[in-house]
């Protein structure tokens, strides 16, 4: 059976949670393969709101959830999220959640370093969430990370903490921040071990058995392509690769397992934090998009910057992210506009360019080139079929398809999971 990989096609916050939740009804297993608890997915089910940061969205459907080795896990954040979901009536236990034994852990010192660095950057701040994601990935690459499997071996934990503290306390002291005590960290980790180790498993074996038995796997990405550490608006990016290819390495499966790649894009564009944003609107139109779309970050609570749909950015995400089809969300937010614009090209220093430049200085000088389309008078909110859509809304969707060079295969018309228009089932592609 084919698998599906879901990734963001803009700067995150595109509504991946609802789409993954909706698709998980067709899946057997849902896998998170990168990122940390700086990502947030909001699901609305029968009027009840679930906010997930680490748990795979499939837990709301009662599916088996897997956290892959490409994720960095804050143990305290994970356990708090599990407890919150239990309070909301969901069952989360080792029976329906498995965590890769080699997943790196985020420790309090990572968050402390993240915040101290951001403060030291002053006007050049990146806009991190301060949750320690970047420093945790640095430790992974530098081969000094504490991993979940280390909690089962106190001797290993002992010498690894020596190395970790030598590095981090030196940096923290240099930044004028408080340093960390080895015994306090050791005691904390050992107290967490009995709560976390029951979830541990070599998940690549589990996923390979699922492949052999032809189970459907849904790979769930965090953030989005334009926040990819290689392909995004560097340095205003996250600390992991967010493209679909990462699903294989971040879960421990063969590259062919990635399957159909579905990119999620809003019908307009938003961004949280710092960094270039060519189609950003600083006027009443941008404010109206934010108000109608309730644009606040799921994790940070920060208001999102808003602008018109940027087809140049999404087309780049399609190419480098391996996207085969788009799920277009929040079309109903555009119901109230007499005219709607699409950024279909750029100008840089007076010259037309066809792609987003890599240079941060050039990115900030980019000027959007807009196409103007007529708005629609009737509502798209809650539409469940193509026939429910106004003619002008269909024209808008068709133009997006032409510009980004892939079809729109799913359309979301409200936060409710059933308000979804399906043009083609990604699991059948």
- Which whole number is the average pLDDT over 279-288? 93
Residue 302 is predicted with a pLDDT of 73
Residue 25 is predicted with a pLDDT of 83
Residue 126 is predicted with a pLDDT of 76
Please tell me the distance from the alpha carbon of residue 419 to that of residue 57, in angstroms, as a whole number. 18
Per cent of the chain over pLDDT 90 is: 69
**Ordered alpha helix ranges (H), 267-369:** 284-293, 311-321, 360-365
Residue 429 is predicted with a pLDDT of 67
Q: DSSP state, 184?
A: H
Q: Where are the domains of the chain?
A: 4-102+201-260, 108-196, 267-428
pTM: 0.92
Using pLDDT thresholds of 50, 70 and 90, give the confidence band for residue 120. confident
- Which whole number is the average pLDDT over 13-31? 87
Give the CATH number of domain 108-196.
Answer: 1.10.300.10
Helix (H) or strand (E) holding 11: none
Give the CATH number of domain 4-102+201-260.
Answer: 3.40.440.10
The pairing of strands 48-52 and 41-45 is: antiparallel
DSSP letter string, 212-267:
HTT--EEEE--S-GGG-TTTSSTTSS-SS--STTHHHHHHT--GGGG-EEEEEEES
Question: How do residues 234-259 score in pLDDT, each as one tens digit?
Answer: 999 999 999 999 999 999 999 999 99
> Taking 90 as the threshold, does the pLDDT of residue 52 lie above it?
no
> Taking 70 as the threshold, does the pLDDT of residue 371 lie above it?
yes
Residue with the two structure tokens 């009804």: 25
Class of domain 267-428: alpha beta
Q: Which residues are annotated as a binding site?
A: 12-18, 38-42, 129, 143, 223, 238, 298-304, 330-332, 412-414
Q: Which residues are annotated as a binding site for GTP?
A: 12-18, 40-42, 304, 330-332, 412-414
Using pLDDT thresholds of 50, 70 and 90, give the confidence band for residue 300. low
- Which whole number is the average pLDDT over 137-156? 95
The residue count for the chain: 429
Residue 287 is predicted with a pLDDT of 92
- In the residue annotation, 13 being an active-site residue is answered as yes
- In the residue annotation, 41 being an active-site residue is answered as yes
- Of the candidates 37, 63, 110, 140, the residue annotated as catalytic is 140
Please tell me the distance from the alpha carbon of residue 21 to that of residue 36, in angstroms, as a whole number. 19
């Amino acid at each position: 059976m084919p698998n599906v990989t879901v990734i963001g096609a803009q700067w995150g916050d595109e509504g991946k949670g609802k789409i993954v939740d909706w698709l998980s009804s067709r899946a057997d297993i849902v896998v998170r393969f990168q990122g940390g608890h700086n990502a947030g997915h909001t699901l609305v089910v029968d009027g009840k709101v679930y906010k997930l940061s680490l748990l795979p969205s499939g837990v709301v459907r009662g599916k088996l959830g897997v956290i892959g080795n490409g994720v960095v896990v804050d143990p305290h954040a994970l356990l708090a999220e599990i407890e919150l979901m239990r309070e909301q009536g969901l069952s989360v236990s080792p029976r329906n959640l498995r965590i890769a034994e080699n997943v790196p852990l985020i420790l309090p010192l990572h968050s402390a370093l993240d915040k101290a660095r951001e403060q030291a950057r002053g006007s050049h701040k990146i806009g991190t969430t301060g949750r320690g994601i970047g420093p945790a990935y640095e430790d992974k690459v530098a081969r000094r990370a504490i991993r979940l499997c280390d909690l089962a071996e106190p001797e290993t934990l002992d010498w690894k903490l020596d190395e970790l503290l030598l590095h981090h306390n030196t940096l923290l002291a240099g930044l004028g921040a408080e340093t960390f005590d080895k015994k306090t960290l050791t005691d904390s980790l050992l107290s967490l071990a009995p709560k976390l180790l029951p979830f541990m498993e070599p998940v690549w074996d589990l996923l390979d058995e699922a492949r052999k038995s032809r189970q459907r796997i849904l790979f769930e990405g965090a953030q989005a392509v334009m926040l990819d550490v290689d392909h995004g608006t560097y340095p205003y990016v996250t600390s992991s690769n967010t493209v679909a290819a990462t699903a294989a390495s971040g879960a421990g499966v063969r590259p062919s397992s990635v399957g159909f790649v579905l990119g999620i894009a809003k019908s307009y564009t938003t961004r949280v934090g710092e960094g270039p944003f060519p189609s950003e609107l600083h006027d009443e139109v941008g404010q109206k998009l934010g108000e109608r779309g309730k644009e606040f970050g799921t994790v940070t609570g920060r208001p999102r910057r808003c602008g018109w749909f940027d087809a140049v950015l999404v087309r780049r995400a399609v190419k480098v992210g391996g996207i085969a089809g788009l799920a277009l969300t929040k079309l109903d937010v555009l119901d109230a506009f007499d005219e709607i614009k699409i950024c279909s090209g750029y100008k840089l220093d007076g010259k037309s360019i066809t792609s987003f430049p890599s240079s941060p200085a050039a990115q900030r000088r980019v000027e959007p080139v807009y196409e103007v389309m007529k708005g629609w008078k009737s509502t798209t909110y809650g539409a469940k079929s193509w026939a429910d859509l106004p003619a002008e809304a269909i024209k808008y969707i068709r133009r997006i398809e032409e510009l980004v060079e892939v079809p729109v295969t799913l359309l979301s018309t409200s936060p409710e999971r059933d308000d979804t228009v399906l043009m083609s089932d990604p699991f059948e592609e």
